[in-house]
Structure 1
Amino acid sequence: MIHLPDVELFIRVAELGSISAAGRALGLSPAAASAALKRLERRVDSQLFERSTRSLRLTQAGEDFLGFCVQSRQALEEGLAALKQGREQLSGEIHLGAPSDLGRDRLDTLLEPFRRRHPQLRLVMHLADDLIDLYRNPIDLVLRYGLSQDSNLVGRKLCDNGRVLVASPDYLARHGHPESFEALAGRNCICFYRNGELFNRWRLFLDGHQREVTVAGDRAANDGALVRKWAREGYGIAYKSRLDVIDDLASGALVDLFPAARYDETPLYVAYPSRRYQPARIKALLAWLAEAFGAAVAGPAVSPPPPAGS
């Protein structure tokens, strides 16, 4: 028989990376917490953590088991909530991860009707442009551009999407429209860091050919929302997800520099740990996201760009 308090301790240790910290959170002494963790390892006949004097990390068996433990805890919480408040009322907490620009603007707006429909739900947003680890962070769902290769995750496509080269009308009025894609090498381009690496090799497909250029500029950030802000304010040219700037293109705040080009495809997915059971609140949010983003990309037509050199 596996004791539920031992499972909860295991989850906390995985989240906090410390047996003593997890024990304190649960009101246990370090010795009691260590003994409970060893008891659980004996029960499952597997070593769940690799321990040293300076570090503690999950083994492969521990990572696999953690997903099932989190799933079991969520199932129990969902059952208790159903008993307390009735099945017709969604309740509990959902942790949702997303890229910064998408999360702060479009996602937050799209979620507002969902929040009003389910007032007993607590929706916690985790915004970061680096990849979010769903196993070491208490994240239920994460939105990502492109499909993850992690076989332990389920990926559900929400909508098609691609990148687009943009600049503000003010920037174009001061510096002119780039006469070619290759001319970007001599322009002030706002670069973006992805997972710690500078993304400064931009490409597109134009006139049947793939073209690539290495760009530079006086501004760079690891925050997509800041890159978009700088582009809107006329500081340079940015290579953004079309989903992030679709409203700016429609309003004319930003201009697609090469509307005839085909850019890198970066569909939007929602990813979550593979599990047989999904709480009702997670299922409801998944359905909402699919419908909301499907409608969002089918929004207003994009305003045409001004003539070259204007």
Structure 2
Amino acid sequence: MKNSINDMALFIKIVENGSLTRTAIALDMSLSAVSRHLKELEQRLDVCLIIRHAQQFKMTNEGTIYYQNAKAIMKSIDELEEEVRGKGVLRGNLKISTTHGFGKKHMAPLLAKFSKMHPELRISLSLLNNLSFMGDSIDIALMVNPPKNDNYVMDVVLKDNYVIVASPDYLQRTPEINTPSDLLKHHCLCLNNDRIIMNKWSFYLDGYENNVQVQPYLLTDSGETLRDWALAGEGVAYKLSWDLVDDINTGRLIQCLPHLKTEQLELCIVYRKQRNQPARIREMIKFLKANILNSLS
């Protein structure tokens, strides 16, 4: 078993260095020793893992499979040793991703608080205007209505509805909004996510759906920019309420058609299905579930 683990570690180094010579230099080994270990590994597995000639260094299909699985195994070993050695102290790297507006306003303060609780943990927050998938380097993502994927767990932490809002100044100088069809007379501020213009605004009354196809006056892929335009009196915005609670409560924005039910979306904590989830990921998920709702109030 020990030799197998050492062989995996060496093979990973060979692949990532891109040559036997560079690997030998990096590990302070002789080139012949590196070559011998690789040859013995291939003989034991009875496959060729790397095609190596004077002008060629390329993994075979079997080599790619071995590398990917060896990488995962070595990562699990590192995480196990880290967790046991830590005895309750969270260490290592934790990468989290979410949308720009939600991350800046709600996630950043929560992660700062969690970091103070676990000072030996290195937390990285990646903010994107649109987050429609979870990259391989991300440990946890906060996503709205994530696409179904059997390789991931998707825990719903919040359900939120869209609201129609505009500034008092804008509403004073434009026609009244009493029905969804009145929106067709207004400057409508729309999101443009993944090249899809979100200009179909949905309402529900007496169990029936009423969709209004508005004409975009201004388009953006940023929820923050959409809010800024609404505050500046540029038009009417259709946006999830969690970003607008303070603006509505203070009167900076007025909710239009509040008696009508609108489309509802789910905010999910997304993470990979994994038998032995590292403690830092488990604890962060637990922390987010306990604190996200409070951060929105």
TM-score over 0.5 (shorter chain): yes
Is the partner of 1:182 in helix, strand or coil? Answer: helix
Say whether the 8 Å CA contact 1:67–1:273 is kept in structure 2: no
Equivalent position of 2:82 in the other structure: 80
The answer (yes or no) to whether the contact 1:129–1:195 under 8 Å persists in 2 is no
Using the alignment, how far apart are the partners of 1:9 and 1:292 within structure 2? 44
Q: CA deviation at 1:186?
A: 2.3
Secondary structure of 2:88's aligned partner: coil
TM-aligned CA distance change 1:150 to 1:5, over 3 Å: farther
Partners of 1:129 and 1:224 within 8 A in 2: yes
User: What is the total number of aligned residue pairs between the two structures?
Assistant: 266
| Structure 2 residue 179 is the aligned partner of structure 1 residue 174 | no
Distance 2:253 2:117 in 1: 34
The CA deviation at 1:285 is 0.7
What percentage of residue pairs aligned between the two structures are identical?
25
* Higher radius of gyration, 1 or 2: 2
Question: Is the CA contact (8 Å cut-off) linking 1:132 and 1:142 kept in structure 2?
Answer: no
What is the DSSP-based 3-state SS (H/G/I as helix, E as strand, rest coil) of the residue aligned with 1:282? helix
Distance in 1 (CA, whole Å) between partners of 2:220 and 2:77 is 40
How far apart are 1:46 and its partner, in Å?
11
- Relative to structure 1, the CA distance from residue 153 to residue 173 in structure 2 (aligned partners, 3 Å threshold; closer, same or farther) is same
Distance 1:209 1:7, change over 3 A: same
- Aligned equivalent of 1:222: 221
Q: Does 1:243 align with 2:242?
A: yes
CA contact (8 A) 1:169 1:253 kept: yes
Shift of 1:218: 3.1
Say if 2:189 and 2:219, in contact at 8 Å, map to a contact too: yes
Gaps of 5+ in 2: 28-33, 50-60
Asked if the contact 1:71–1:275 (Cα under 8 Å) also holds between the matched residues in 2, the reply is: no
Change (3 A) 1:283 1:172: same
**1:274 positional shift:** 1.2
TM-score, normalised by the number of residues in structure 2: 0.75
The aligned residue for residue 90 of structure 1 is 90
Q: Give the deviation of 1:224 after TM superposition.
A: 1.4
Distance 1:251 1:272 in 2: 36
- Is the contact made by 1:200 and 1:214 (CA closer than 8 Å) also made in structure 2? yes
C-alpha distance in structure 2 between counterparts of 1:290 and 1:208, whole Å: 32
CA-based RMSD of the aligned residues comes to: 3.6
Amino acid of the structure 2 residue aligned with 1:212: N
Which structure 1 segments of 5+ residues have no match?
Answer: 14-18, 48-58, 300-310
Deviation per residue, 1:5-33 (Å, 9 max, x gap): 544777x79xxxxx79xx99x969xxx9x
Does the 8 A contact of 2:199 with 2:216 survive in 1?
no
CA drift at 1:273: 1.3
Pick the structure with more strand per residue.
Answer: 2
Query: How many angstroms does 1:255 deviate by?
Result: 2.1
Q: Structure 1 residue 277: deviation in Å? A: 1.5
Secondary structure in 2 aligned to 1:240? Answer: strand
Mapped partners of 2:93, 2:218: distance in 1: 38
What secondary structure does 1:212 align onto?
A: strand
Deviations 1:215-254 (A, max 9, x none): 1233211111211221222211111112222222222222
In 1, Cα distance between equivalents of 2:276 and 2:234: 48
- Secondary structure in 2 matching 1:270: strand
2:58 corresponds to: none
Distance in 2 of aligned mates of 1:44 and 1:232: 67
Superposed, 1:17-96 pairs within 5 Å as: 69-70=71-72, 72-73=74-75, 76-77=78-79, 79-80=81-82, 82-83=84-85, 86-96=86-96
* Distance change in 2, residues 1:279/1:109 (3 Å): same
State the TM-score, normalizing by the size of structure 1.
0.73
> Partner letter of residue 152 of structure 1?
N
Alignment partner, residue 210 of structure 1:
209
Secondary structure of 2:244 counterpart: helix
Matches within 5 A, 1:1-310: 1=4, 3-7=8-12, 69-70=71-72, 72-73=74-75, 76-77=78-79, 79-80=81-82, 82-83=84-85, 86-134=86-134, 136-296=135-295, 299=297
1:68–1:275 contact (8 Å) kept in structure 2: no
Distance, in Å, in 2 between the alignment partners of 1:289 and 1:95 is 14
Contact in 2 for aligned 1:90/1:121 (Cα 8 Å) = yes
